[in-house]
Structure 1
Amino acid sequence: MPLPTELTVHQQSRVLEIAFDDGARFRIPFELMRVYSPSAEVMGHGPGQEVLQTGKRDVLVTALEPVGHYAVRPEFSDGHASGLYTWDHLYKLGSQQDALWRDHEARLAAAGKGRDDPMPVKTGGSCHSH
């Protein structure tokens, strides 16, 4: 399991630059990170329960908090801060960007939504844990 040697948040270009000790270096767009957040809020509580994320093109990472030696917890400008991004998850986001974007575009199309549509406002019954 490759470990990160470098982690840089680029606000201007809205990417997280991450280098791993196997020589891989990725520039992961904040939008991709946000859309594929490993949090329950995005992933749901089982297959098919994922919550489609839209309107995240301009989202910023406002803080990045290390969690142990295995993950980081980014805070996003839209208030989302419950995702624990393991090195494994970040590596996957970096190395499979093209496939993940295609998958996201396909899910948007299937839902009849655009990438920049605002997220529907959640009402009641949310499963937030603070």
Structure 2
Amino acid sequence: MKLPTSIELKKKSRLLAIEYGSDRYELPFEFLRVFSPSAEVQGHTPDQAKLQVGKRDVDVLEILPIGSYALQIKFSDGHDSGIYSYDYLEELGKNKDSLWQAYLEDLKAAGASRDPNDPANKRFEEPPKKKCPSHH
């Protein structure tokens, strides 16, 4: 595993800048949120992956190191379950353009949008989870 030589959170430009030696990647917050490695986003198998819609304005609230191998990123929409290994972040950096293009094509095919206020995105929202009555 390659460790990053530099990690910088750029709040104004909404980027995570990460360097691996001479390789530097700038990963937009929306991109990181859309490609979260969490099971909530990716599913447990590829056919369970959930298309992420309306994430254009998502912000990063906090980044926490996980041991010496990963980062946990807390997003403004409440998502914080993805553990981004340094290897995964490097893969995202190397493949950013093709991943982003495929994501935009998936959004278009689904009739969805990056815009958080787009009514077309409503059908992708999870129904609220029912609380189980407490057993005494």
What is the deviation of 1:2?
Answer: 2.5
Q: Secondary structure at the match of 2:6?
A: strand
Q: Deviations over 1:59-98 (max 9, x none)?
A: 1110001001100000001100000000111001111110
Query: Is the aligned partner of 1:123 residue 2:122?
Result: no
Amino acid at match of 2:35: Y
TM-score (norm: length of structure 1): 0.89
Structure 1 residue runs of 4 or more that deviate by more than 3 Å after TM superposition: 117-121
Residue 103 of structure 1 is matched in structure 2 by: 102
Amino acid at match of 1:93: L
Residue 39 of structure 1 is matched in structure 2 by: 38
Q: Residues 32, 43 of structure 1: CA spacing in aligned structure 2 closer, same or farther, 3 A cutoff?
A: same
Residue 112 of structure 1 is matched in structure 2 by: 111
Higher helix share: 2
Paired residue total: 125
Residue 13 of structure 1 is matched in structure 2 by: 13
What is the deviation of 1:14?
Answer: 0.4
CA RMSD of aligned residues (A): 1.6
Structure 1: stretches of 5+ with no match in the other structure:
none
Residue 3 of structure 1 is matched in structure 2 by: 3
Amino acid at match of 2:113: G
Q: Secondary structure at the match of 2:71?
A: strand
Range that drifts further, 1-10 or 75-84: 1-10
TM-score (norm: length of structure 2): 0.85
Percent identity (aligned): 46
